[in-house]
Amino acid sequence: MPKLSVIIPVYKVEKYLAECLDSVIAQTFTDWQAICVNDGSPDNSDKILAAYAARDSRFIIVNKENGGLSDARNVGLEHATGEYVMFLDSDDLLTDENVLTQCVESMDTGCDLVAFNAQRFSENNHETSICLQGYIYPKSSMQIEVPDNKYCASFSNVCFCCFRKKIIDENALLFPKGLIFEDWPFMMMYSCRCKLINYIDKVFYRYRNNATSLTADMGERVFDIFTVYDLIQKELKNQGVWDKYIEITTLKLMFALPILYFNMLQSVTDPVILNNFLLKAGDLIKDIPDSLFNTNLKKSAYQYFFIFLRRKDIKNNLTLCIKFKNIKHISQNLVLLFGILRLFGLKKQYHKIREKISNLVSKFV
């Protein structure tokens, strides 16, 4: 049985696949298996996989009909026999030859999860670091006792971590099929069962900013965020730990909603769909306790967005703005205007301008 299983879902990545697999072969740690799940890829990815498997028996190829990223990862977990598990997307790569060595050595100390930093890069090789430090992890490498640090459950990308397979198997943890944002519930369900996490303040993973990736243009699939949030809430309530994790779960949701809304504005033109997203977001936000909402609001760069969702009359104004042709310009600036006025405590001006814009908008609808 290998020490480590690396699960690599493969779909339409013939351009990048060899670079990904080469980054695994280059590792100084050799006791690994790579479970490459060909998710019905219509390009030449299957031929590339076959060539690597012929040269190195540690590459195990699983062919299946297309079922999406979650399904491919779940199939990979079924075939993984390693003590530890890592996930590597097939258009990404490991940064250097010592990544697996350091992850395994860290896991061997008895921790349940190893988390590390990643670096986003694009075709022109423009690089931007994605660090796990800050409000999620400390500012340097260290061990974290999860019962004393609930924020460890807030991270939501499985590719930036190393897992203990026993915890996954004993709790029957799987990725939700057919949904995007699939990492978030898996990470929450796993990390809340951990006792000790090792955070390594180094960049181990290179994340490709691929214009054809699933999340590049989510469109209407952003509605999956509500389903995913419900899944997390239900599971944590079943475990009796929802009260412990409600704050960090809510904080992640509040950061996601405005980003997803503005992502929709790039591709969705149906005002009914945009309106429905705002209504669902508003209904969800209003159920958050005021004390929790006010605490998290101060931490958010999108606080003006939540002001709209928490106030029915303002939310209606924003809904009306959707009917304008220049939807992105009007909605963003209208929300920003209100937010600035609220931010600086200009309550009188805020209410006057809100009333004027409300009247102005009504004339055009």
Ordered by start, the domain boundaries in the chain are 4-216, 223-364
Split at pLDDT 50, 70, 90, the class of 261 is confident
Instruction: Calculate Rg over the CA atoms of the chain.
Output: 22
3-state secondary structure of 144: strand
The pLDDT tens digits for 42-88 are 999 999 999 999 999 999 999 999 999 999 999 999 999 999 999 99
Pairing of strands 4-10, 84-87: parallel
> Are the C-beta atoms of 216 and 210 separated by less than 8 Å?
yes
Q: What local confidence, expressed as pLDDT, does residue 343 receive?
A: 40
Q: What local confidence, expressed as pLDDT, does residue 264 receive?
A: 76
> Are the C-beta atoms of 338 and 304 separated by less than 8 Å?
yes
Q: pTM, whole model, 2 decimals?
A: 0.81
Percent residues over pLDDT 90 in the chain: 45
Comparing 95 with 151, the larger pLDDT belongs to 95
**Residue 229 tokens, joined:** 């949030």
Max avg pLDDT among 77-81, 189-193, 259-263, 338-342: 77-81
> Are the C-beta atoms of 195 and 145 separated by less than 8 Å?
yes
Q: State the residue for tokens 């799940």.
A: 37
- CA distances 83 to 104, 126, 240, Å, are 10, 36, 28
> Are the C-beta atoms of 245 and 156 separated by less than 8 Å?
no
> Does domain 4-216 fall into CATH 3.90.550.10?
yes
Q: What local confidence, expressed as pLDDT, does residue 283 receive?
A: 75
Among 174-178, 209-213, 275-279, 297-301, the least confident range:
297-301
The pLDDT tens digits for 175-202 are 999 999 999 999 999 988 889 988 888 9
